[in-house]
């Protein structure tokens, strides 16, 4: 997957506008997410492993908030001979356009239905796996419970949800420490203090992280039988929930 280097926040802005998944972001997104989210590459690969182990024959797999298709591409390679279909959804036209190109670069027997739309509006059915990889954090908190309920209802018995999110911690020293380690990760990946602070301002109104406890309680409240964090680095985690 090609991507230019992210220098969107490198020059000073008088007023930083709210973060959007527009054409500018889509053009650098692969670089941006790899330099911003610790463990991103490992999470993508492991979602492929989870798909390989859990996708049942003739079922559907949903990649909600698919961006450039990193999850879909990895999962698609791991579904050999199972007659599955992947449904990949994003409401950013720029992301969907690029995702389409990325998917067409490889041949696969598994069909992908690419939908440009809101994940709150799409139907989920016959699913063995639903993946929300750093997407739900961008949905206003009031919409999160209904989305999880819809996912639970659309999963087949034994189906799984993979949910990756940035976390917030109520213990103030833990929050400050993990946040600082995350910022060091960004610094080590070449982001300047200006880039870090302007990106932070732009995300403030649009990305609202929950605590791990909020995630677990809300997920279990929908009926999921089993829940665990399977990956965490600083304030980024990936969870798995089983129906
Ligand atoms: C951080 S990115 C996800 C990264 C991607 N899953 C990956 O693993 O590379 C969040 C994506 O969710 C999409 N998104 C945010 N809210 C959405 C919504 N309500 N409906 C559909 N897509 C949404 C954004 O356009 C963006 O592409
Ligand atoms: O929290 C941050 O500082 C981030 O940059 C995180 C994050 C994310 O978790 O999705 C935010 C926006 C971009 O999509 C890439 C990374």
**CA 137 to ligand 1 center in whole angstroms:** 9
Tokens of 157: 């018995």
Ligand-binding site membership of 74 (annotated) = no
Which atom in ligand 2 lies closest to the alpha carbon of residue 32?
A: 15
pLDDT at 2 > cutoff 90: no
Query: What's the CA gap between 79 and 203, in Å, rounded?
Result: 35
Residues 6+ away with beta carbon under 8 Å from 134: 33, 37, 65, 164, 165, 166
pLDDT for residue 84: 98
pLDDT for residue 80: 87
Tokens of 184: 């060091």
Ligand-binding site membership of 119 (annotated) = yes
Ligand-binding site membership of 220 (annotated) = no
Q: Does the structure's ipTM exceed the value 0.95?
A: yes
Q: State the CB neighbour count (10 A cutoff) for residue 13.
A: 12
pLDDT at 100 > cutoff 80: yes
91 lines ligand 1 (CB under 6 A): yes
132 lines ligand 2 (CB under 6 A): no
pLDDT tens-place string over residues 164-220: 999 999 999 999 999 999 999 999 999 999 999 999 999 999 999 999 999 999 999
Ligand-binding site membership of 225 (annotated) = no
Nearest CA-CA partner of 206 in 47, 16, 6: 16
Whether the CB-CB separation of 124 and 148 falls below 8 Å is answered with no
Q: From the CA of 92, which ligand is nearest?
A: 1
Tokens of 72: 């879909």
Tokens of 169: 């911690």
Indicate yes or no: pTM above 0.95. yes
Atom 13 in ligand 2: residue holding the nearest Cα:
33
């Amino acid at each position: 997957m090609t991507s230019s280097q992210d220098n969107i926040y490198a020059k000073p802005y008088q007023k930083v506008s709210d973060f959007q998944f527009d054409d500018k972001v889509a053009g650098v997104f692969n670089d941006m997410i790899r330099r911003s989210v610790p463990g991103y590459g490992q999470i993508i690969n492991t979602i492929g492993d989870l798909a390989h182990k859990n996708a049942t024959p003739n079922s559907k797999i949903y990649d909600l908030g698919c961006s450039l298709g990193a999850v879909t591409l990895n999962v698609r390679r791991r579904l050999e001979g199972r007659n599955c279909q992947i449904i990949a959804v994003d409401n950013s036209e720029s992301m969907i356009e690029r995702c389409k190109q990325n998917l067409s670069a490889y041949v696969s027997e598994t069909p992908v239905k690419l939908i440009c739309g809101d994940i709150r509006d799409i139907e989920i059915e016959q699913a063995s796996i639903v993946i929300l990889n750093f997407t739900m954090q961008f949905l206003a908190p009031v919409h999160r419970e209904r989305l999880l309920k819809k996912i639970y209802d659309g999963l087949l018995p034994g189906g799984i949800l993979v949910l990756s999110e940035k976390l917030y911690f109520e213990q103030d020293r833990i929050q400050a420490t993990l946040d600082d380690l995350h910022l060091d990760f960004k610094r080590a990946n070449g982001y300047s203090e200006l880039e870090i602070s302007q990106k932070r301002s732009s995300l403030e109104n649009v990305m609202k992280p929950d605590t791990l406890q909020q995630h677990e309680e809300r997920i279990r409240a929908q009926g999921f039988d089993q829940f665990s964090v399977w990956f965490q680095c600083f304030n980024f985690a990936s969870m798995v929930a089983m129906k």
